Amino acid sequence: MRIDRYIAVSRVVDLESTDFESAIAELLEVCDFSKEKGLSKKRLLNDLLDREKQMTTYLGNGVCLPHTRVSMKRPYMIAVGRCPGGLDYDGQAEYKNIRYVFLLLAAKNARSYLYSLASLARIFQDKSHMERLNAAHKLSDFRKEVKLVFGGEGDKPRRRHNRFNNLILREAAKIAKGANCSTVLVFGDTFGGGVEFGSKFKGFKTVLIAHGTSDAATEREEIDAVLPIRSFSNERFSQLRSAVLIGLTRGVFKSNDRLCCVGGLRQSNQFDSITVVDIEREFQTVFATKNDMLPASVKPEVIERVLGIATELAVEGREGHPVGCLFTLGNSDKISEYSKPLILNPFYGYKDEDRNILNPFMDETVKELSSIDGAFIIRGDGVLVSAGSLLYPPNYNHELPGGLGSRHAAAAAITQAVDCLSIVVSGSTGQVTLFRKGKMLPLIEKALVRNA
Ligand SMILES: Nc1ncnc2c1ncn2[C@@H]1O[C@H](COP(=O)(O)OP(=O)(O)OP(=O)(O)O)[C@@H](O)[C@H]1O
């Protein structure tokens, strides 16, 4: 979804308000609802403040993203305010860190609402994008930068490649041809300002893996697909595995594809490696096709999201301590037959949209709940059904490597009993493992994570 199309320059302003409530009122003031019938700005303000009371919309990195649904004809409207001195709200310290308020209004029938929230959040999580916004002092420059960053211009390189990068790209094209690869996979995060490879990979499917890429990047001619992976372990092969898994679930790759992957350290501006991956050999057959990998009810973006949260939990832990957790994805009704609650369900009673794992504001809640015993049960469309559930699938006869205990055994067994996926973060090693049909696929290897 091209979110930048809904950002009008006239709605990008410098806020005069110093408190959150007045800041939102000021942003609503620049929104023109003259063509919308019966829309009351006062009611909208109250809706937005009610939501804020339930859960903060502060996303970190100085960005606040208040959002709500509105009865309006246009699908989205976005207003942006700068407030370099932060905002006061209810004495809460974190609001003092707010530098930008992005107000997102979505029509009641806008079906991609959660994706829009997620794509905005993805841009804000990328420090290089935030640096660009921070560097624009004059309002006119800031307006330009906002349009550029959200319009995908932020993904274009600001400096030309050096000779070594060009050499690697040329060699990658040769290797891809010689090794009969169908696809070239480029780690775009190697470059702070985006990556350019012109026509070097003509004749191959070209896929960009990038962390904070705007959806507009997909419209670049030389790129066939973008895998917007939100977080990685620092270990190269783990990154690659996660990327290939996501490409498979999205149908970007096929099981018989051979990939030529070009990578480098994140933000190093230097490519340094070329790896050829034979999907069938790297992934066991059970994981190698989209249909095998993906239970019918599970959306690829839900796996991506859970994988992102699992990776962050594995790498960062929680408040300095390692945490382990177990997520099941898909067929939640059937899974509920093999589970029982260990605690009162924390998601009970919330609207589906507010407890959907695709909603970026769910991240903190899920991470906070990861330290309790039991599993998260997630519907295929991303709705969090429960946390703290004990799984008791019928058959525990799995051959798992030594050291893996009851959490991993339950994760393996549930995927054999029910058409679902499970993802485990090991509390003791930090390994992230995906289970499907009783088989396991380590995505982030142990020890490497804890050293990262
Ligand atoms: N059947 C189950 N359903 C849900 N959660 C479970 C189940 N069995 C164990 N767990 C969770 O896993 C936690 C760790 O259990 P255990 O150490 O036996 O597993 P493990 O596979 O070795 O995992 P880790 O590598 O995280 O230690 C338990 O405290 C519990 O929260």
Digit-coded pLDDT (tens) for 120-139? 887 887 777 888 899 999 99
Q: What is the pLDDT of residues 255-302, one digit of tens each?
A: 889 999 998 887 788 889 999 999 888 776 556 566 677 888 898 889
Q: Looking at the CA of residue 408, tell me the nearest atom of ligand 1.
A: 21
Instruction: For 295-325, write each residue's pLDDT tens digit.
Output: 888 988 899 889 889 988 988 888 888 899 9
Q: Is 375 in the pocket of ligand 1 (CB under 6 A)?
A: yes
In angstroms, rounded to a whole number, what is the distance separating the alpha carbons of residues 215 and 301? 14
Ligand 1 site, residue 9, Cβ cutoff 6 A: no
CA of 329 to the centre of ligand 1 (A): 17
Whether 428 lines ligand 1, by a CB cut-off of 6 Å, is: yes
- Ligand 1 in reach of 403 Cβ (< 6 A): no
What are the structural domains of the chain? 3-151 (3.40.930.10), 163-284 (3.40.1380.20), 295-451 (3.40.1700.10)
Q: Closest residue (by CA) to atom 5 of ligand 1? A: 374
Quick check: 242 and 307 in contact, CB under 8 A?
yes
How far away, in angstroms, is 406 Cα from ligand 1 center?
5
> Which SS3 state, helix, strand or coil, does residue 219 take?
helix
Q: Is the CB of 396 under 6 A from ligand 1?
A: no
Ligand 1: centre distance to CA 281 (Å): 30
Predicted confidence (pLDDT) per residue in 342-371, tens digit: 999 999 988 898 899 999 889 889 999 998
Q: What is the pTM of this model?
A: 0.81
Does any ligand 1 atom lie closer than 6 A to the CB of residue 379?
no
Q: Which of 386, 407, 420, 425 to mutate to test the pocket of ligand 1 (most atoms within 8 A of CB)?
A: 407
* Higher per-residue pLDDT: 293 or 416: 416
- How many whole angstroms separate alpha carbon 209 and alpha carbon 239? 10
List all residues 6 or more positions away from 85 whose beta carbon is below 8 Å from its beta carbon.
18
Q: Which of 219, 295, 289 is nearest to 253 (CA)?
A: 289
Give 282 Cα–ligand 1 centroid separation in angstroms: 28
In the predicted model, what is the mean pLDDT of the chain?
86
12 C-beta neighbours (distance < 10 Å), count: 24
Residue of 260, 275, 245, 239 lying closest to 182 (CA atoms): 260
Pocket lining: 423 vs ligand 1, CB cutoff 6 Å? no
- Ligand 1, atom 1, lies closest to the CA of 391
Strands 339-341 and 384-391: antiparallel
CA distance 245 to 433: 12
**Hey, what amino acid is at 110?**
A
